[in-house]
Chain A
Amino acid sequence: MNEASKGVGSVVYEARGLKKNYDGGQVAALRGVDFDIREGEFVAIVGPSGCGKSTLLQMLGSLDKPSEGSLSYRGRLISALEDPSDYRSTEIGFVFQSFHLLPTFTVSENVQIPMFETGLSRGEREVRAHELLVSVGLSHRLKHFPSELSGGERQRVAIARSLANRPSVLLADEPTGNLDSENAAHVVELLLKLHQELGMTLVLVTHDLGIAALATRTIRMKDGRVVDETTPLTHAS
């Protein structure tokens, strides 16, 4: 996968004429979106509030189904997946703006939650959660509850959780939206490291153009459509 992060990899996501309506067609959140996302890319999705960024990310994460058009993951239609939970648990990791940690579980337990869907033993789950939390710099917080952590720490727990089953794709919806600049920088640094060192494909929705500038490519959206795709010069090297 390191190879992939350097050059142009195979197509991970392919969207064609992707539409999503809510409330029986009254709200058109996506009005026909086309794009390809390749292995090892870091794609930033930007655009004004309400333009459909989160909706798009939910389609990518198979949290919701498109109304029209096709979206495939590595050549297979996501809407045709027999069991999207397998895809969600092992292929992708999801990081949300509001962390979405489970309040009644400790930090370590939150990271272990996705591992129930894989065949890991209890001991293996604990060890792996520990390793992941070490890698996000939270080894001293294993037994704390989310409510006892700062926003930045919570988001790092969420990142550790998203990596629980070693996915190849990370989907992040404004992961720094609820964080102050210092914590935001820390989280971005972590995500960038995953992209660069592990070659993970990273799709990140953000309002922060500074973060978007770090991406290999930016997809700009407006009113449910892609209006522009740019590859910042900074990344050409």
Chain B
Amino acid sequence: MSIAGRIPPWIVSMLLALAFWQVAASVGPISDSSIPTAVDSVTTLVQLLGQSETWIALGQTVAIAAIGFALSLLIALPLGILIGLSRFAFTSTKFVFDFFKVIPPIVIIPITILALGPTFQMGVFLVVFGLVFALAIQTAYGVRDADPVLLDTMRAYRQGIVTQIRYARLPSAASFIAVGIRISATAALVIAVVAGLIGGAPGLGRQLLLSQTGGLADQTFAIVLLLGVLGVLVSHGIEWSRRKVIFWEDR
């Protein structure tokens, strides 16, 4: 096989995409705009990666996402389990949770800016707002999905509620929670970026906003590229750990 044939397709397609960008930015209808070329953007990205501010911003964004994510789990899992255990609680809270679940955190940014200012805490708050309702509903669904036969058997043997939760409710909720966690982890990062970009919370989002309003087109594109790389790493990391878990469960 020739050398060209051995290059993985994803590298070929990425290079092609960059080449297309380079050409589109140099000639053609959108070359008149201030769109930077691919080469300029990638060069700027490399420069940015050599600066400590970039890494600090990256750290802030990841920290906001991670802390918000952890808090959401801390709140949503017990809440979801409690709600899921009682049919009355489940139907009572369903509307409220469904309502807030579909409202994106970006909507409440103006109010959070007023209340908390453009701060780290505000970013964390937005992440929690964005994750907690969906996670709680997901957990509650999982708890409700427990095998009724198993539950009946346990009741027949007079097993207490703790045993029921431990051996019937939680195992059934586990797969639901796993799905929730997988979706939430990516969402947390997205919200952390939005909190910076729109709300001025520290991190890559704010850097992006400053680049754009400052007219630094190269840097704007470079940060967006960096966010894309970060997104790919996170989603592949989640996929990788999911495989690990499945492998572990299969053993």
Partners in one complex: no
- What residues make up the interface of B, taking CB atoms closer than 8 Å to A? none
